[in-house]
Structure 1
């Protein structure tokens, strides 16, 4: 972060007379998707614009997309260490590091991303100090529920056996292993190459990201159900936050609320959901809607993930789980 001194004397007077302020704080925001991705155009950019306007131009934000400042899995540490002032982080890229938060990654809990974003924020914000104490939690941004996209049809859990699958996060990686598949651990920007070169036979992604990352030509079969979410976080370096003037911290706090998590997530959620209809309209893709019996097979197959989560978290696990379910219910987002 750079703190800039307000201009003095006549120039400062001129700025005040004109109703503007010199920029005091310039924040570096790093993420790992292309700059054309809805995460930036529909989430980050409107949030930045609102932050700048609310501060009267005193807060500026420079966006660094596409892993310019560091690799996707490193973004939590980048916020902690001040490599960037704000980072867009997928905690699921680091297996086992955030056991409480990994609850959101277990399939069949969240049915939509907008209510899910607000529920996730309401639930996790009080818990963030427990396992993310060295950064400031700001926003939660889940995608519209994703599913399996594959070269050959996947209909039931047994179909995963023997396949190499690029999982969305650590929990889906364990699920793939549980079903006899081989996880191919690469972040989203590298997923296309894994599919194209045959390293992976299938991928877990939200719907329109198949198009955004250019994977639609290789994956023509899709399991048509809201399977799982991956929920990214906007995190802030604590020294940056604490070094800001008190009134600017208050403005930043006003942009780190459950309502802002919902607002931040709306555009991307709608964009991802639109990918499903695009596939149907194209006539080039096959969507398989599982029967009720097959849905139950998937849910039964995922049950050990919740058992393992409870074991990893320990004594408070049931209360933490119940509070998440209550938040999802309040926001009409429970599967």
Structure 2
């Protein structure tokens, strides 16, 4: 009898340990400075996952390309160099054509709603287009435009002859179509290439212009909602698949349309605050476009829709239906540009 009781006591003490989920310590990588709002967004993200997993998922955020170059972050998640990464799909032209719809000029008006609308729309395409990883969420920053050192860019023809560092593949196509030359670089390298004369200007959001010190080497700033940039958080598939159902649920809860809006809004407020900072600096000319000038830019951007559509079609999407769905999603979240 005593042996039986002892066996039951031992079993009771062992069972909770057996039922306890394995712990995971995630390596979370991005390529902007730790002072960028994305750092806090990712720290908040892993804190939420930690809470929802009952403390079994922890993580550390590695900023500023510590684990790898900006261009490599999708492959870093795929290959397990990092467990969660921040990716700019437009850094690799042609690789992720469908999500590039979010880069089209004069489409998205707001960072929070734009992020929610984009993410809600892209989920049905992400499983195929980003099949090497576990897709988490997509988001955008606030609408942005041109900043240049050598010449005021007012009309589309003003880009002719300029060397521009584009934000992504769509803006690169735009620059080329207008007679400019693209200079490819990641965001942390932009100040250097303008300072050295390798580039004359850049398409960049306002708060980040100041954060990266690009405002120190530029002079002319177009205040117009010309474009946004799409970003995604992705997760290593093997790491996600090794988790328990409860842990996967914790990840899924924080890979949502709502979380996309949280990340987009936090970043958007930072970028919007940069407009007044640049206006207050000496040596900067910040200018808005007239209705006629805006119409000229919209007209010049029309071929980009076809270019995007051709790429989306090759990737297996119906471009007309996909773009109509994206616009409907953006409208739902009050972020469709007029």
Between stretches 46-55 and 196-205, larger displacement belongs to 46-55
* Distance apart, 1:224 and its partner CA: 1.0
Deviations 1:244-285 (A, max 9, x none): 111011011000000000012211100100000112233542
* Distance apart, 1:22 and its partner CA: 9.0
Equivalent runs, 1:7-156 vs 2, <5 Å = 24-41=23-40, 43-151=41-149, 152-156=151-155
* Distance apart, 1:53 and its partner CA: 2.1
Say whether 1:303 aligns with 2:305. no
Contact (CA 8 Å) 1:208, 1:275: kept in 2 or not? yes
Larger gyration radius, structure 1 or structure 2 = 2
> 1:153 aligns to what SS in structure 2?
coil
CA distance in 2, matches of 1:307, 1:119: 21
CA distance in 2, matches of 1:23, 1:242: 13
> 1:290 aligns to what SS in structure 2?
coil
Contact (CA 8 Å) 1:23, 1:57: kept in 2 or not? no
Equivalent runs, 1:208-287 vs 2, <5 Å = 208-287=207-286
> 2:216 aligns to what SS in structure 1?
coil
* Distance apart, 1:55 and its partner CA: 2.2
Other-structure match for 2:6: none
CA distance in 1, matches of 2:184, 2:332: 34
Contact (CA 8 Å) 1:30, 1:87: kept in 2 or not? yes
* Distance apart, 1:58 and its partner CA: 1.2
Other-structure match for 1:171: 170
> 1:127 aligns to what SS in structure 2?
helix
Deviations 1:215-246 (A, max 9, x none): 11111211111111112100011111100111
CA distance in 2, matches of 1:253, 1:211: 34
Give the RMSD, CA atoms, in angstroms: 1.8
Deviations 1:285-309 (A, max 9, x none): 2111111011010001110010111
* Distance apart, 1:173 and its partner CA: 0.7
CA distance in 2, matches of 1:212, 1:281: 15
Deviations 1:161-203 (A, max 9, x none): 0000010011111110110001000010111111111101100
Contact (CA 8 Å) 1:22, 1:57: kept in 2 or not? no
Contact (CA 8 Å) 1:147, 1:227: kept in 2 or not? yes
> 2:28 aligns to what SS in structure 1?
strand
Provide TM-score, normalisation by structure 2: 0.91
Provide TM-score, normalisation by structure 1: 0.91
Contact (CA 8 Å) 2:26, 2:59: kept in 1 or not? yes
Contact (CA 8 Å) 1:23, 1:60: kept in 2 or not? no
Other-structure match for 2:293: 294
> 1:28 aligns to what SS in structure 2?
strand
Other-structure match for 2:206: 207
Moved over 6 A (4+): none
CA distance in 1, matches of 2:327, 2:22: 42
CA distance in 2, matches of 1:261, 1:313: 23
Other-structure match for 1:6: none
CA distance in 2, matches of 1:71, 1:141: 20
Q: Which runs of 5+ in 2 are unaligned?
A: 1-8
Other-structure match for 2:3: none
Say whether 1:317 aligns with 2:316. no
> 1:60 aligns to what SS in structure 2?
strand
CA distance in 1, matches of 2:80, 2:43: 21
CA distance in 2, matches of 1:144, 1:126: 24
